[in-house]
Amino acid sequence: MIQSKQIQRQQLVLVVDDQEINLDILGMILEDDYDVIYASNGQEALDAMREHLDDLSIVLLDLIMPVMGGIEVLEHVRADEQLRQIPIIVLTADHKAELQALQLGAADFITKPFDTHEVILARVGRIIELSEGRQLISAAEHDRLTMLYTRNFFYEYASRLYKYHQERHMDAIVLNIEQFHSINALNGREFGDKVLCCIGDEIRAILSEIFGIASRLEADRFNIYCEYQGDYRAILDRIQGKVDKLSERVDIHLRMGVMPWSDGVDPVAMFDRARTACNMVRGNFRNPFEIYSEEMRQRELLNQRLLNDLRTARDERQLRVYYQPKYDVQCDPPRLASAEALIRWQHPELGMVSPGDFIPLLEGNGLIGFVDSFVWQEAARQVAAWRETYGFTLPISVNLSRTDLFDPTLLVRLQSLIAENELDYQCIKLEVTESAYTDNAAHVLDVIARLRELGFEIEMDDFGSGYSSLNMLSEMPIDVLKMDMKFVRNIESNATDRRLVTLILDIADYLEVKVVAEGVESEGQLELLRDGGCNLVQGYFFSRPLPPEEFEELIRREIARERNGDL
C-alpha cells in the first residue's frame, strides 16, 4: 500500500522496503528535505513509478522483498524507456549484489544498516543533481517532436562512431519531405507536426532493428547513420507507407539519398553527398531514391557553378530569349500565327548551356521564377518592339511554372507587364505544364480562371505527359492544348500513336479548344496533323528556335506575303 506523509514538494522520493522499521528510518531522514512516498514491495514500486513518472526524482529500492524483489524491479525498469530516466539507489546488506545491481542500471548503493543521516542525504542529493543534469542534456540533444537527435549531438555521436568503431561500415541516408512548407501552409502546422512525428516514430522503429542513430536536422530533413543495409529503397517505402496512412486527402511525398560507406570519408562529408543525391530526385515522384556516385559529384559541382553564376548571367546578358514560330496549318500556305519564348544561356566559359541542364536545377532550388520573370519581360518588350518596327503584332507564349502559380503577386505583376508595354492581354499567352494541375489542383484552377478573366489565353503544355488529364480536363479553364512531342514523333510509322493523336484532337474538338503540336519535323507529320484538324504547329519543319534578330526575317517574310496577297 502506498502512503503519502507530506504535502507535495518540488522533489519527490519513493522509498521501497518491506520492513516498517526501515521505512520509518528513511522517512525520518528524508522528510525534512523531500516529499516522500512509500511502497512495500516491487510491484507497488513499479506502480508508483508509473503513477508519478513526471514528478519522481529518485527511488530508494530494497533488494530483498517477498513480493517481487529489487533485482526484478531493476530488470523491469531497464526494459522500460520511460522508467529508465528515474535514478535508483539500491538498499541492501548483501554486498555481493552490488555489482549485479549496478550492471542493471542502479545509480548508487547504500548498505544496511544505514550510514549516518548526513551521508544518506548527501548521496540522494548528489544522484538527483546528476540525474537532473542528464535530463537537461537529454532535452537539448533530442528534437522535441521526433525524439531523434538534434544536429550538433547527432554529428558528435556520428563522429565518435566513425572514430572509434571503424570496423562498422556506416552509410549516410538523407530523407526529405517534398514541398513541406506547402503542406504546413495548406493544412496547418499541427498537421505538419503530425507528419514529422510519424516519420520520427518509424525511423526509431527501424533503428530498433538495425545499428545506427538518426536526427531531425532541419524542418523537413532527417539524417540516418547506420550499418550497411541491402535495400534502402525498402526503408523509404516503409516510411512512405506510414506517412500515406495519415490522410487520404493530402499527398505527402518523401525522397531519399544515400551515400554508401567509403574509406576515409567522414560523416559530415558523407551526409553532404547523401543530401546531393536526395536533391537530385527533388520532384521526381516516380523514382524518389538515389545513391551518390562520382558522376553525381561532377554534376553537383556544375550545378553549384550555374547557381552561383545565375545573377551574373542576367546582368551581363548571357541569358537570352529565343523564339520558335507557331504556324496556323489550316491556312494554305501556313501562316505565322504566334511564337513560343524559350530561354537560352550562353555561358562565357561553358558555352551554350542546355536548358535541360539548368531549368530542372532552377526548379529544384526554387529559382525558376527568377528566369520566368526575365522571359516575361523580354517577351513583352519584344512584342512591343516588333509592333513598333513592323506594325505587326505577334502573340508570344511564355511559361508559368508551378512556383509562379503560388506567387500571391502573380496577377499584379502580369497586369503591370501588359500595361508597361501597352499591350493587349491576348499578346502574351500563358503556358502551364499539365503536371502543375495535379497537386493542389483547386488553387491552380482558381488562379488560371482569374488570369483568363483578365483576358490571357491559357495553353496546357505537354498535354498527355501526365496521368490525370482526362479526369480533370472538363474543369480546366484553358484555351489551347499543346500536344506533347512524343505523340508526334512516330505518327507516320506507328498506328497506335496516330490513334492517340486522333483521340487528342477529338477531345479538343469536343471541348472547343485549339491544339498546338510541337516537335513537327517532316511533311508527313504535318499532313497527318493538318488532316486531323490540328490548328497550330511548331517544330524544326518550319524553324528551330531563333534569336530575335533572326526571327525578324520570318516576320518580314510574312508581311511580304500579306502584301502580295498570298494569304
Run means of pLDDT, 10 residues per run, the chain, 567 residues:
43 86 82 86 91 84 86 88 83 77 81 74 81 53 84 86 85 93 84 94 92 88 91 93 90 94 91 90 87 83 87 89 96 93 93 87 83 95 96 94 89 96 96 70 86 93 61 76 86 89 88 91 93 94 95 93 70
Instruction: Give the per-residue pLDDT at 4.
Output: 41
Query: Closest Cα partner for 26 from 98, 94, 123?
Result: 123
For residues 274 and 292, the answer to whether their CB atoms sit within 8 Å is yes
- Give the DSSP letter of residue 391: S
The SS3 call for residue 127 is helix
Query: Closest Cα partner for 175 from 259, 294, 248, 245?
Result: 259
For residues 513 and 534, the answer to whether their CB atoms sit within 8 Å is no
Q: Is the peptide bond before 260 cis (omega within 30 degrees of 0)?
A: no
H runs (alpha helix) in 226-367: 232-244, 267-280, 294-315, 355-364
Instruction: Give the per-residue pLDDT at 435.
Output: 64
Which residues lie below 8 Å from residue 371, measured CB to CB, with a gap of 6+? 319, 343, 359, 362
The rounded distance, in Å, linking the Cα atoms of 370 and 366 is 9
The SS3 call for residue 358 is helix
Q: What nine digits make up the cell of 450? A: 482569374
Helices and strands (DSSP H and E) totals, the chain: 21, 19
Q: What nine digits make up the cell of 147? A: 525524439
For residues 5 and 50, the answer to whether their CB atoms sit within 8 Å is no
Instruction: Give the per-residue pLDDT at 19.
Output: 84
Positive or negative: CA dihedral 62, 64, 69, 71: positive
The rounded distance, in Å, linking the Cα atoms of 268 and 381 is 48
Burial class (CB in 10 A: 0-12, 13-18, 19+), 64: middle
Q: Across-strand partners of 344?
A: 320
- Overall pTM surpassing 0.75 (yes/no): no
Instruction: State residue 37 phi and psi, 5-degree precision.
Output: -120, 160
How long a stretch of residues is the chain? Answer: 567
Q: Is the peptide bond before 113 cis (omega within 30 degrees of 0)?
A: yes
